[in-house]
Structure 1
Amino acid sequence: MNGELASSGSAQLWERALKAMPGGVSHDGRFLPPHPTYFARAKGARKWDVEGREYIDYAVGSGAMMLGHSHPDVVKAVQAQMELGTFFATVHPLEIEWAELVQELIPSAERVRFTASGTESTLLAIRTARAYTGKPKLLRFEGHFHGWHDGVLLGMKAPFDEWPSLGIPDELRSTAAVAPQDANRVEEMLKADPAIGTIICEVSGANWGSVPISDDFLRDLRKLADRYGCVLIFDEVITGFRWSPGGKQKLLGITPDMTTMAKIVAGGMPGGAVGGKAEIMRLLDPNVEYKRYKPAVAHKGTYNASPIVSAAAVAALKVIRTGEPQRQADSVAKQLRAGMQQMIDELGVDALVYGESSTFTVYFAKGARRGSLASISPAAIRGSLNRDSLDIYTNGLRRRGVDNMSFTGGMTSLAHRDEDVPPTLEAFEGAVQDLLDAGRIVCT
């Protein structure tokens, strides 16, 4: 680390950041008052801030670090590729090996095209699906997150019929329909609007599972997509390679027409992928002419499948396919969920702890302990703790050596161990007590 930066604390770095970047950050969600914590290094399930404080990390690179930070196989692969060349701006052998691994693991990936991020993956998948069906409209679900491009912002957060950002032409409203996670309502919308040709769904449920989704609903989507001639896209940017080596689709035996991927698929590096049926993906083939277009769907991107990212991805997926990362991460997350719920019950706090696979979420709301997962909605999860309360909770965890992901949840990795559970639960109890002391949550 640069010596000048290493000798600066987070407060000093924040003052510099404010003069260099809008709001001092490069991502909307990275600000935390009074100022963000600046991190200097990470290894395994731990990371350290610029002041040298150690944290158990449940943000895990926004879900990207399934193997933990700096897994030796990934580090070795990236170092070796750096010696051979960082970027060629042409094809190279590693991208083929990477694509073959994705094909091997993801059932829907008959063909694979690489991108530079999850946002780019959903953008490309939706464009390709529209080209295939000839229908312009996308059906997406309330609160589901598919990146930050214009085509997927309507419905991203409540109120779901309003744009969550300036700068988007209102004319784009006609290209998207927003539905609740309700199969009957979806069918009504498909019957009423023949312009809908694409359905996209975050298969964990909204915001990586903070709003649960039923397996039966995903099965219904497959049936409805077939019945109404729609392309079904499973957004597995989070679930892909985490719920199982083949993603949630492999776990459930439900194969979509297309799958969007990022994060783990790229070994925790900046990269993404779209996998899909060969007949759909052929529209990206530069040798195929379709309706006078060649290729039918335009897709470029300087850093698609760059050698450095490809090297990390290949190394990571070879470990991922063993299933051991999922088994270990799931085991620790299960212990955390049970321990957190027990602590909530002992404190008498009105909250519910839940999650699938290697995730955990804490839902603070009136009636939560007596409620069911089916009662949790996108609007409810965002409204359960206001921004100030979330800051109290997050800062409470960090003061006690734990870093969370977003809202009130986190994820585990291969690097997390049973011995991480007790100190995490101790930090959790302290953060909950902070909320109680501030009068932000109630006891039943």
Structure 2
Amino acid sequence: MRRLAVVYDRGSAGPAELSAAARALDVEPVLVIDSTSEHVAQVLPALRRRFTLVDTAGMSPDEAAAAAAAVRLTGVVTFSDLCLPVASALAAHLGTPHWHSPEVTAVLRDKAAQRRALAAHGVDATRYAVITVGSTVADALTVTGLPAVLKPHDGTAGQHVTRVDDLAAAEAAARRFFATAPTGSMLVAEELLIGDPEVAGPAFGDYVSVEAAVHDGAVLPLGVVGKLPLEPPFRERGFFLPATLDAAITERVLAVAEAAVLALGIRTGVVHTELKLTAAGPRVIEVNGRVGGHVPDLFDRAFGYSVIETAFRLALGDPPVAPEHAGTGITYQYVFLPPTDATAVEGVEGLAELHAHAGVDLIDVRVTPGQRVSWREGAFSRLGKVYGRVPDHTALAGLVTRIGDTTRFRFTRDDTIAPQVTANRQ
């Protein structure tokens, strides 16, 4: 039986998903973990019951790779941005070409490096500048113009991503970030990409993601995921399959996504590429060298297709298989998020009524009174999700409104925080 290293931490596919994919492919997953991680510590008993574990606590990426390689392994994969450096170091140690090289991983983990590579290959020319502790925010904004977006250069899940409309706001945002950021952290300032609401439809988000399987440099599109409008400032509020795009726009989106993947030197793996739908055509927001966090569930319920299995296949050097886009209806996830001025959850009402709505299959809300929340945590600040299926996009738009009207969260708020109001995604 082939053994596959799965480097595991926050943001990864869950234990049940990993186990199911491993059984389907007759693969033994070996989880490479850092037991000092807060997330890993919380789920460690469950992981021990299901998997062989290699604990790399206190090790550098190269030391962790050597420790994991001592277990006989055929390949390596990760579903967590946090684990990309260890996964690439392990792949290099094993000599497997079926995961991102350290050089490609360095580009995937650095948003400024991505912008340089995209511009160098003529894929996208979004204006950007790097801000460090010692640099001047005003100089960066001279390059990007206003309004602009500030984001950590190696961030994940939309954490600390914010819009700034003037120099004072940008300087304040930079001060807040660097006050708690680890030494060596950087911000990337980017021009704000303006979406055209007519492309996907005014009821939906002005951006999409392309999921693709890359095998030996060949890019196989798996699907285009539609989005609900964003929660300010840039937090994802929901996803659905299929998207609302017509055939011509879909073709352009797929072409730009493929060009972006190749520009970054990606040769293998499942890739999640986000694109802004502007009036001039699709623009690259960012490329992620792993499966999107919400993607496996959507593809499983929409098409009966396992993206986790596809990622395993690619990591083992096997070619991918595309999903069969059969059936009708729209599969969705709706995400509950706190407002920008919320500091804690006091309670929630309306969940029982929500169950009665047609098209709602599952409600997963797990909050406790007093639970701390912060919009700066991005996707990690979500309060829960609604999962379901509706006949068409019109029905989805109506259900989204009803979900918002039915569910009432109560929060402790900080009145010194000014709510951000923007529907642009960057």
Q: Same fold (TM over 0.5)?
A: no
State the structure with more CA Rg.
1
Structure possessing the higher relative contact order (Cα contacts under 8 Å, 6 or more residues apart): 1
Give the number of the structure whose residues are more often strand, by fraction. 2
